[in-house]
């Protein structure tokens, strides 16, 4: 832009009787200075007009549209999609079950229907964990178990995230138990991260545990007398019969013992979480074996025991969630009802997103959709009922799909 304005004002450098008594170099210097000042003034005017034009064209999804750079966690994106839905369920492999009345449908990440209402009675694969929250912070908690499939109610049938009908049992374990039995293995769990714990029994009835993949191929030979945990974030806990060298340890996917826990560093770590840490009370251990206190970890993100009137705790000790987020539940001491609020640390970006969200349900991001169901308490109406914003947020905590306001109060 300055190049264009310079072309317009360059003749000023060569003309003007006002400079007739000055030297040629003085004339040129003053002319350049005058031209540059004029250029800057015009540039500011043009920029101001462009800004006003940009603000006036912001989407009308909210009553008070936010500028793109001003959005914060819990806000609604200007181009958010509003859905007339009664209930949202978490995304699963890029699709989510939604309910209106007693009818269910399947939507994609844009809020578009994959499977219309009233075609199938679709069940969202959700299990209940009553002990997830620290000190019972969650109570009975819905825990997402992403399988990529959605079971049809009262039928031995599934649909996948594309809405395609699948008959029979849930893959990849259709006939795996039968195939493993022919090789002398017995399944000891449903598996995790593509590895399934199995055991073989010798002539004396002694069982040895190992791992196979979902195709039944042996990946870690049966050698452990004590059953290992499932793999999480590439690690499984194993315990030797003889504790003279170490009490327990963690193996990688190749069966190599990479961390040994002795009396000196035994804090009672049970297993790793999918976030790459093992928890025990106030302590946590990373995949290198380094042990730190939980609140020292939180301080890296500017969170102290009491920050902004909240009591903060980490809520991923049970390792149920498979995204790269740490959910943090805090008690909001600023409100009369002393309710719980929630935020999360994105371990990929090392960014804290918090704390606008309600403490329940826990925020879980589907790996494919990169979206999570969330709620924000917005206050109370005249009758004293809670006003809650509901929908799906992106990883920055911005609502991109929102529950529409009821068309009628009746």
Tell whether 386 is covered by a domain. no
Tell whether 11 is covered by a domain. yes
The number of C-alpha atoms within 13 Å of 410 and in the hemisphere containing its C-beta is 0
What does the pLDDT read at residue 69?
A: 64
Task: Tell whether omega for the bond before 355 is within 30 degrees of 0, i.e. cis.
Answer: yes
Tell whether 62 is covered by a domain. no
Taking the C-alpha atoms of residue 360 and residue 152, their distance in angstroms, rounded to an integer, is 26
What does the pLDDT read at residue 324?
A: 83
Question: Buried (b) or exposed (e) across 66-86, using 16+ Cβ within 10 A?
Answer: beeeebebbbbbbebbbbebe
- Residue ranges in 1-131 assigned as alpha helix (H): 2-9, 24-56
β-strand pairing of 386-393 with 126-129: unpaired
Contact call for residues 13 and 32 (beta carbons, < 8 A)? yes
Query: What are the angstrom distances between the C-alpha of 313 and each of 274, 306, 328, 337, 342?
Result: 18, 10, 6, 19, 10
Query: Which burial class, exposed, middle or buried, applies to 13 when counting CB atoms under 10 A from its CB (0-12, 13-18, 19+)?
Result: middle
Q: Residue 343: CB partners within 8 Å, gap ≥ 6?
A: 73, 327, 328, 330, 352, 353, 354, 355, 356, 357, 397
Q: What angle do CA 65, 88, 348 make, to 5 degrees?
A: 70
Tell whether 146 is covered by a domain. no
What does the pLDDT read at residue 323?
A: 83
Q: In this structure, what token pair is assigned to residue 343?
A: 């935020």
Tell whether 8 is covered by a domain. yes
Overall domain count for the chain: 1
Contact call for residues 214 and 198 (beta carbons, < 8 A)? no
The secondary element (H helix, E strand) that includes residue 109 is none
Containing structural domain, residue 12: 2-56
Query: Which burial class, exposed, middle or buried, applies to 354 when counting CB atoms under 10 A from its CB (0-12, 13-18, 19+)?
Result: buried
Instruction: Give the end-to-end CA distance of the chain in Å, rounded to a whole number.
Output: 58
Q: In this structure, what token pair is assigned to residue 243?
A: 């504790």
Tell whether 331 is covered by a domain. no
pLDDT, one tens digit for every residue, the chain (410 residues)? 444 334 333 343 333 443 344 444 444 445 445 444 544 543 443 344 344 333 333 233 333 445 556 899 999 999 999 999 999 998 989 999 999 999 999 999 999 999 999 999 998 765 434 333 333 333 334 444 556 788 888 887 888 899 998 765 544 445 788 888 999 999 998 788 889 999 999 888 899 999 999 888 999 999 999 999 999 889 999 999 999 999 999 999 999 999 999 999 999 998 888 888 898 888 899 999 999 988 888 888 888 755 444 555 565 555 567 788 888 888 776 666 667 888 999 988 889 998 899 988 888 899 899 999 999 999 888 998 889 999 999 999 999 999 998 766 67
Tell whether 96 is covered by a domain. no
Tell whether 32 is covered by a domain. yes
What does the pLDDT read at residue 126?
A: 54
């Amino acid at each position: 832009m300055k190049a264009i304005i310079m072309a317009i004002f360059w003749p000023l450098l060569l003309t003007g009787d006002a400079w007739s008594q000055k030297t040629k170099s003085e004339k040129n210097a003053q002319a350049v200075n005058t031209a540059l000042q004029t250029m800057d003034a015009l540039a500011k005017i043009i920029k101001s007009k462009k800004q006003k034009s940009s603000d006036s064209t912001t989407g009308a999804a909210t009553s008070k549209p936010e500028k793109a750079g001003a959005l914060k966690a819990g806000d609604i994106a200007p181009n958010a999609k509003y859905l007339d839905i009664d209930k949202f369920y978490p995304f699963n492999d890029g699709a989510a079950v939604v309910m209106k009345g007693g009818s269910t449908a399947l939507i994609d990440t844009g809020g578009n229907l994959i499977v219309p209402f009233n075609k199938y009675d679709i069940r969202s694969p959700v299990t209940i964990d009553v002990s997830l929250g620290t000190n019972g912070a969650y109570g009975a908690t819905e825990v997402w178990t992403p399988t990529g499939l959605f079971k049809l109610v009262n039928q031995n049938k599934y649909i996948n995230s594309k809405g395609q009908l699948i008959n029979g049992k849930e893959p990849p374990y259709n006939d795996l138990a039968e195939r493993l039995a022919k090789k002398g293995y017995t399944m000891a769990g449903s598996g995790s991260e593509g590895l399934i714990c199995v055991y073989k029994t010798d002539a004396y009835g002694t069982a040895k545990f190992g791992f196979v993949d979902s195709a039944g191929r042996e990946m870690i030979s049966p050698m452990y007398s004590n059953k290992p945990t499932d793999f999480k974030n590439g690690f499984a806990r194993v315990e030797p019969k003889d504790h003279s060298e170490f009490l327990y340890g963690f193996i990688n996917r190749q069966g190599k013992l990479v961390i040994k826990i002795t009396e000196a560093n035994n804090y009672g770590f049970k297993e790793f979480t999918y976030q790459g840490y093992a928890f025990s009370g106030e302590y946590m251990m990373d995949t290198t074996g380094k042990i730190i206190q939980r609140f020292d970890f939180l301080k890296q993100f500017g969170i102290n025991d009491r920050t902004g009137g909240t009591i903060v705790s980490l809520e991923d000790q049970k390792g149920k969630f498979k995204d790269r987020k740490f959910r943090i539940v805090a008690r909001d001491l600023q409100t009369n009802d002393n309710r719980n609020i929630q935020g999360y640390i994105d371990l990929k970006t090392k960014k804290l997103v918090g704390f606008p969200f309600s403490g329940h349900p826990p925020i879980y991001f589907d790996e494919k959709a990169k979206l999570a169901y969330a709620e924000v308490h917005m206050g109370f109406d005249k009758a004293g009922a809670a006003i809650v914003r509901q929908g799906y947020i992106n990883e920055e905590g911005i609502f991109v799909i929102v529950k529409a306001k009821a068309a009628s109060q009746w």
